[in-house]
Structure 1
């Protein structure tokens, strides 16, 4: 009796720790993440920039034509000026700059989560392709066994050479699919390398059995998703911008000191002869006719209204994405369970074929039919598992604060 070997399917995956290592590698190496991290540092450094007072102005002048005064001729002038923002203005600038840091950090967090999601999706695409490749190889070997059976039946006159040729053609079809699948795997490997930003493919260790876990009830909360929290950071930045705008609209103070050197008169002698001039100065700059600050306040008010609308739109989008991901994840589970039952039926049909061969009566048209059915079931099972984990990654991206 010929022993049939039919492998259900072997689901393997990298361990959770290894997948986390892929995440970390992508986060470290990805150039976009590195650029956004630099933006965060630039925004932080900007706090120091806006926290400084205006430059001190120094002036020096020499009188080419010396003006004569009662106390003597003026020889040169030295001046120093310092403008100072209104009290609290510098702190308001720093607060606004700090709010912009939070915005950059929010953008960075969103980019990191999207990158991790992309790593998961491409990994499971790779997993799916490699499992399909294994399934095809198993079916190619299975057809070899069927061909051996057919050849034996031809020798005993219980089958025709045409049936052997049909089995060979089916095997050739699977070989073609296998080659195309290998090309897809190479393309996916290149994409995975680009995401990780490495030159050579990291070895994927498929060690553990990967099955769809039992269904459980879950409550999902989108309120803490970074794409929504960013609107809160944006609203806070607008609030800080308005506080800064109010401070900027306040009067600006200026302090200065002029020193003028005076030459003594030789034609007369009196108590203040040649006395130098020292002139302290105070200035106040008041934006009486400047509409700029009122315009900025109006813009900030409109932006706050816009943020509310944009947040509601983003929440609707996230809710739709979550509902779609949950539906597709549940659909993958149903598909998986259905194909498990179908696989059992196909296995029963395979046992009948074995018994028919043992009794010397076998229809190789049935052999081709059952092989095609088995292959479809195996492929559907692989796709169902891959789809479940990909959609589960989307659900985690949308709802898991630690994703």
Structure 2
């Protein structure tokens, strides 16, 4: 009961922990996304499976620290054994085995370390699910932003079409200008239909991550606030070594193997049995003797188990040492992999930051240029193809800006994931 109470408290505290690793990031994160992360944490079947595996491991702790079951033996004499005080009819004995001092504690330590390793696997799975939710959410934001930008450009081209039509009717423009607008409008409308169809697979993936029976309507912000990383690369590398759940899981696995080595060593030492026996004796009828028919109670009975096969226990210890070395190599390999991933993700994060700044500048330049070209075309009949080319350039810059914003936040989320921070 105490174990279950402790588990419930842990789960309650975990659910109450604010999602987000810094105050600045928490303030910048979109409010709907916080709710989606909570839904994913509560509903995702993979998380439930891993957490139940962790709970199952905890249930092994009472088993590990328990003494072996006592042994009760009954003796019934088909031919009573005659003694000085009478014939032995039946007997009962009770014995309890006791392993070497500290063995039960070491066995419990093995299970405790394995449970901690399972919990780190749960933490890693939770962070992975959270990253998937975030990255899919940002993909959906880019899609919705692309739809909104494309619709705005359709409206802009429709105004250009009216302008070209006015100039054509006043014999100051060309029919080619009107045809160019129509071609661009057809392309944009076709692209718009594709973007709207692209909602279906992304929304399906998002609802799959949330594991909701009824698909929910996903809200995304009009403008995505970008998230910054406060720490430098060296600090993040230290965070990987210290906080990454997979690496921490390897540490707990090695601690469990250390405890298993201790258990194997203690199994190679003597263990003891304590017990008592009771024998029922029938009184003698042929003569009267002192204590005639008195039952025999023998306490205590002491036994010692002597482990003579030393190779068996040396082999058990060697097995655990080799397994520990194997886990250590796996941990080292994972550290190297994560460091390489961090360097690559840091590069992409820095590139996304630069792209956000770049496309903000380019959009300002392109907007000014488009305004000038439209004014020149309206008043002086300047090259209309230049107007359309600049409009397409502006559309590309706007789409690239939204993608860069989403990329920056995705890379921040991934860095938080591999460094083991709360997401």
Which TM class, normalised by the smaller chain length?
A: 0.7 to 0.9
Larger deviation, residues 166-175 vs 379-388: 166-175
Q: Do the aligned partners of residues 338 and 216 (structure 1) sit closer, same or farther apart at CA in structure 2, a change above 3 Å counting? A: farther
Preserved CA contact (<8 Å) 2:106 2:262: yes
Aligned to 1:49: 63
Q: Do the aligned partners of residues 347 and 215 (structure 1) sit closer, same or farther apart at CA in structure 2, a change above 3 Å counting? A: farther
CA distances 1:157-210 after superposition (whole Å, capped 9, x unpaired): 334444423322322222222222122222211211221222322441516652
Larger deviation, residues 259-268 vs 239-248: 259-268
Unaligned runs of 5+ in 2: 1-26
Query: 1:126 Cα shift?
Result: 1.0
Q: Residue 79 of structure 1: SS of its match in structure 2?
A: strand
Q: Residue 328 of structure 2: SS of its match in structure 1?
A: helix
Preserved CA contact (<8 Å) 1:189 1:201: no
Q: Do the aligned partners of residues 328 and 102 (structure 1) sit closer, same or farther apart at CA in structure 2, a change above 3 Å counting? A: same
Q: Choose the corresponding residue for 2:395, options 364, 375, 385.
A: 375
Return the alpha-carbon distance in structure 2 between the equivalents of residues 216 and 374 of structure 1.
Answer: 34
Q: Does 1:361 align with 2:381?
A: yes
Query: 1:67 Cα shift?
Result: 4.4
CA distances 1:233-255 after superposition (whole Å, capped 9, x unpaired): 22211111111222222212112
TM-score normalized with structure 1 length: 0.87
Matches within 5 A, 1:265-280: 265-271=284-290, 273-280=292-299
Q: Choose the corresponding residue for 1:201, options 212, 216, 239.
A: 216
Q: Choose the corresponding residue for 1:300, options 320, 327, 331.
A: 320
Return the alpha-carbon distance in structure 2 between the equivalents of residues 333 and 41 of structure 1.
Answer: 43
Preserved CA contact (<8 Å) 1:14 1:206: no
Query: 1:321 Cα shift?
Result: 0.9
Q: Choose the corresponding residue for 1:320, options 340, 350, 367.
A: 340
Preserved CA contact (<8 Å) 1:14 1:207: no
Preserved CA contact (<8 Å) 1:262 1:275: yes
Q: Does 1:153 align with 2:167?
A: yes
Aligned to 2:13: none
Query: 1:319 Cα shift?
Result: 1.0
Return the alpha-carbon distance in structure 2 between the equivalents of residues 214 and 96 of structure 1.
Answer: 38
Give the structure with the larger helix fraction. 2
Query: 1:44 Cα shift?
Result: 2.2
Aligned to 1:390: 410
Q: Residue 109 of structure 2: SS of its match in structure 1?
A: helix
Q: Do the aligned partners of residues 42 and 216 (structure 1) sit closer, same or farther apart at CA in structure 2, a change above 3 Å counting? A: closer
Q: Does 1:133 align with 2:147?
A: yes
Larger deviation, residues 204-213 vs 380-389: 204-213
TM-score normalized with structure 2 length: 0.84
Q: Residue 242 of structure 2: SS of its match in structure 1?
A: coil
Larger deviation, residues 70-79 vs 113-122: 70-79
Matches within 5 A, 1:46-125: 46-69=60-83, 71-125=85-139
Q: Residue 291 of structure 1: SS of its match in structure 2?
A: helix
**CA root-mean-square deviation:** 2.6
Q: Does 1:223 align with 2:241?
A: yes
Return the alpha-carbon distance in structure 1 between the equivalents of residues 346 and 304 of structure 2.
Answer: 64
Aligned to 1:341: 361
Q: Do the aligned partners of residues 290 and 212 (structure 1) sit closer, same or farther apart at CA in structure 2, a change above 3 Å counting? A: closer
Q: Residue 67 of structure 2: SS of its match in structure 1?
A: coil
Q: Choose the corresponding residue for 1:258, options 257, 266, 277.
A: 277
Preserved CA contact (<8 Å) 1:93 1:244: yes
Return the alpha-carbon distance in structure 2 between the equivalents of residues 214 and 187 of structure 1.
Answer: 31
